[in-house]
Amino acid sequence: MFKKLPGDQVTGLVTTTPDTAVVFRPAVVRTPAIITIVIFVWRVLAGLVRMVWRHPIATAVLAIPAAVTWLYGWRVALLVVWLPVSVLLPWALFDRATFNAWIGWRLLAFWRLAWMYRRHWHAVMTISGLARHAGGRDYVPHLVAVRCTSWADLVTVNMLTGQAVKDWADRIEHLAHGFGATSCRVSVTRAGRLLLTFPRRDPLAVPLPALPLPEAVSVGPVEIGIREDGRPWRLKVHGTHVLAAGATGAGKGSILWSVIRALIPAVWTGVAELWGLDPKLMELSFGRPLFTRYAASPADCADLLDEAVERMQKRAEKFAGVQRDHVPTVEDPFVLVIVDEVAFLTAYQSDRALKQRISAALATLTTQGRAVGFGVLAALQDPRKDVLTIRNLFPDKIALRLDESEQVDMVLGDGARDRGALADHISSVPQEGAGVAYVRLEASPDPIRVRAAYVSDADIRDMVALFQMEEAA
């Protein structure tokens, strides 16, 4: 009935002068004031009801004292307010952790929701291009909830129908700056629903001193630093191979040394062996006595790797048909081959024969070593494929500070940077950024930010002294 037929427009025509654009006169419908007022009042009432429904506790906190003042006067209201405050204040002062868990983070979440997210939601969604205007209507993604943890705001949103995670991942910078955070990470919680993580502060901003030597003998997962959420960062080294990529000064050394430190009890009880390859002569030479086997020159490194392959194959023959998984023992220890700057042995090696031997040995170790207790932990500056052709043979990768944004996906896999692994934004100031990295955990595709503990030269010296004392005893 409202559909316009071709001839209908003619009635609204203002001009028909040839060569000028055709202009239609818009129909003006006057809305009676009463309708405008009714709509306005309806919106205010609906808003109030929605607020009470969404935030019953916050509304009660404001409404009860107001009602008591109204009914019984301000003295009674003061008493009513004072009673809970006299309980909450000491609680907050003397047991901050449980107070935060029960009340603090909820209060903060309410405040952040009202003051930051709801207030800026429409503007940020529109300007970043995540909202849509179609058929005269605005479609804005729905802000579901805000939760706070000690370091970040976790914002749950419903995407618009037809949106993809990539639409959001492409706009993490808009979102971060729009909501006053330095970064934003996007993860999927279920179909159509996302969790946006906005860090409020950076728990990894200060260097973490070397962790205490572990008491228990274990080959992993070894604790080597902390995660952004404050939990310990445990790295699996037994049953996998790990590649740590980072520009010069990114702190690859602190990853290698933290792993070595965590394995020391296993090494001195004989259930693990460390084999060090140190082509730059600058990293592992410091802890020479900790290594069962150590090589620095490319020729020695090739010999060492060939020996590792030989031992691995012997062990595989021994295990064949008997057991499928390796359990470290003194007879069959876990052997961790640690290679600092692996590209010196592969891409930058001028002796072609050596280069081929080394590449072949590394490829053999990384393809066959996992199940028989041989692991490779390698550090690398430049993660491009032509520098390390066997990059993909390392199941676990760590992205320390990288120079270019494209390198992030080379290390962590496609889409990692879009999901918030901003390894190219890590500070190059050692205090702030050395040892900071992004990793993907087994269980989830979303990258997390971590920082390795810093094992100083003095720590290494102490470790060596202790190790030698233990060996002598």
Ligand X SMILES: Nc1ncnc2c1ncn2[C@@H]1O[C@H](COP(=O)(O)OP(=O)(O)OP(=O)(O)O)[C@@H](O)[C@H]1O
Binding-site residues sit at 246-253
Cβ atoms within 10 Å, residue 402:
28
Q: Which parts of 67-106 interact with ligand X (CB under 6 A)?
A: none
Q: Which of 124, 274, 335, 434 binds ligand X (CB under 6 A)?
A: 434
Cβ atoms within 10 Å, residue 61:
14
Q: Does 328 bind ligand X (CB under 6 A)?
A: no
Q: Does 373 bind ligand X (CB under 6 A)?
A: no
Rounded to the nearest angstrom, the gap between the alpha carbon of residue 381 and the centroid of all alpha carbons in its chain is 21
**Residue 278 C-beta: closest distance to ligand X, Å:** 11
Q: Which parts of 435-464 interact with ligand X (CB under 6 A)?
A: 435, 452, 454
Q: Which does 449 bind (CB under 5 to 8 A by kind): Mg ion, ligand X, none?
A: none
Q: Which does 433 bind (CB under 5 to 8 A by kind): ligand X, Mg ion, none?
A: none
> Distance (Å, rounded) from C-alpha 337 to C-alpha 309?
11
Q: Does 250 bind ligand X (CB under 6 A)?
A: yes
Give the alpha-carbon dihedral of 87, 90, 94, 98, to 10 degrees: 30
Residue closer to ligand X by CB (options 381, 407) is 381
**Residue 235 C-beta: closest distance to ligand X, Å:** 14
Closest CA to 123 of 107, 98, 140: 140
**Residue 280 C-beta: closest distance to ligand X, Å:** 7
Residue closer to ligand X by CB (options 253, 373) is 253
Q: Does 252 bind ligand X (CB under 6 A)?
A: yes
Evaluate whether 419 touches 411 at the Cβ level (below 8 Å): no
Q: Which of 141, 199, 246, 333 binds ligand X (CB under 6 A)?
A: 246
Structure tokens at 106: 């909820």
Q: Which of 254, 346, 349, 364 binds ligand X (CB under 6 A)?
A: 254
Q: Does 287 bind Mg ion (CB under 5 A)?
A: no
What does DSSP say about strands 242-245 and 293-295: parallel, antiparallel, or unpaired?
unpaired
Evaluate whether 128 touches 178 at the Cβ level (below 8 Å): yes
Annotated binding site for ATP: 246-253
Residue closer to Mg ion by CB (options 253, 375) is 253
Which residue bears the tokens 């998984």?
325
Give the alpha-carbon dihedral of 467, 233, 439, 422, to 10 degrees: -110
- Phi, psi values for residue 295, rounded to 5°: -145, 150
- The count of residues in the chain is 473
Amino acid at 285: S
**Of 60-68, 76-84, 172-180, 428-436: span binding ligand X (CB under 6 A):** 428-436
**Of 11-19, 180-188, 200-208, 279-287: span binding Mg ion (CB under 5 A):** 279-287
On the question of a cis peptide bond just before residue 221, with omega within 30 degrees of 0, the verdict is yes
Q: Does 253 bind Mg ion (CB under 5 A)?
A: yes
Q: Please, how many CA atoms are within 13 Å of residue 170, restricted to the half-sphere of its CB?
A: 8
Which stretches of the chain bind Mg ion, using CB under 5 A?
252-253, 283
Which stretches of the chain bind ligand X, using CB under 6 A?
207, 246, 248-254, 381, 430, 434-435, 452, 454
